[in-house]
Chains A and B, each alone.
Chain A
Amino acid sequence: MTILSGVSFSVGGGEALILRAPNGAGKTTLLRCLAGLTPPVSGEIGFGFDDVAYAAHADGLKAQLSVAENLRFWAEVYGTRDIAPAVEAFSLSALMGRRAMHLSAGQKRRLSLARLLLTGRSLWALDEPTVSLDAEAVGWFAQAVTAHLEIGGAAIIATHIDLGLPSARVLELSQFRHDPDTTSGAFDEAFL
């Protein structure tokens, strides 16, 4: 089923792109395409999936493992040695020994976002990353994204709130809503 058509954008190093659209308009679908999980019906994605760090609605944490074990697992998967910067960025150090099942929703989200710093990948594809975060944690998240952009990374973020990223461009997805009658020339591409 085609959901979006004619989507075309480019994101360079140091740039952030905010995806905005009403619920169900295809933000998640687009991000899953960019992460290589859902192949696009047609079109071209101009970067390797090995550059993308994807963060979904679900936190992807193991409830029976501690915060430290969850982080160390992802660090090992991505071949990262040092988990300290990720712990600091989302101020998780007080929670390190606690099992993920005993965390609040916002703490889980922070742990899930800290994983991004461990991936060492240049393009972050984030699906509503600030859900259940408090204002302070949204600030930490914005700092983490800014730091990532400063070292030449890029971010594509689907969100409904203002993240406090002044440099970010906004892409309204609702303009690309697929209309079954006008399929001529429809293409779907993104370049990095």
Chain B
Amino acid sequence: MEGFVKVLKKLMRNPTSIAGLLLVLLFVAIAILAPVLAKPPYPDTPYQMPQNGWSSVPQPPSHEDIFGTTEGQYDIYYGIIWGTRTAFKLGIFVIGLALIIGLFVGTISAYFGGWVDEVLMRVTDIFLAFPFLVGVIVIVTMLGPGLNHVMWALVIFYWMGYARLIRGSVLEVKENDYVMAGRALGTPGARIITRHILPNSIYPILIQVSMDMATIPLTAAALSFLGLGAPVGYADWGQLVSFSRNWIISSSGGNPFAYWYTITYPSLAIILYAMGWNLLGDSLRDILDPRMLI
């Protein structure tokens, strides 16, 4: 706990890390306050963006829709607010599960070593033999599109990074005197892992989690953009961006700036969200990585 306060104090000293922290807090607030900021017209299906009409042409910002509407008249403001919840939901679910799998594989691999380590690491290698997005697309194709399937697909192809990271940290910590001392005293293996090894390898994981809170929702948004993620009308940033595609390249021959709002607001939401987590992760790395203390 004392270490945590120390880290927080260091974070508050650097303007970039303060900016990151504030951005993250802003989005956390938006996600929590979503029902207040954008009241769902149908409380049972809050993630379904309300449609203000049926026209296929986006409408510019007005008193009623302050960020304008997309094609099909989905309210952009509503989509961004509830899309924040979608992003957090995705991030927490995927990273949580990937972390559990990674902890399991990584600690077992490092602690027992030998052939257990060899087998587990070769299996990890096979999962790593795909570009991440390709693996996810294969699973989503087989399961069918949809946000739930995207979540599982992301978990299946995302745990390897954590497994390797945790294995590395455990290997490093394992050789320390206090672990040796614990062993010499006859402490059981599981207790050594949970009480001595894991708490001491927690910081690299923390940095990774912070970075991944940006990566995972962005990847899911990319899949929605490709038409493989959220169903049509679901509050999701990737889908909002994909709605803008046909309008900003001016296939209609008119002024391309006429539909600026369709891409500007959703893009801003995505970029600021990702920047918050990345700034935070980057600052944590600078504080916690001893190699950076030169």
Q: Do A and B come from one complex?
A: no
Give the interface of A toward B (CB within 8 A).
none
Give the interface of B toward A (CB within 8 A).
none
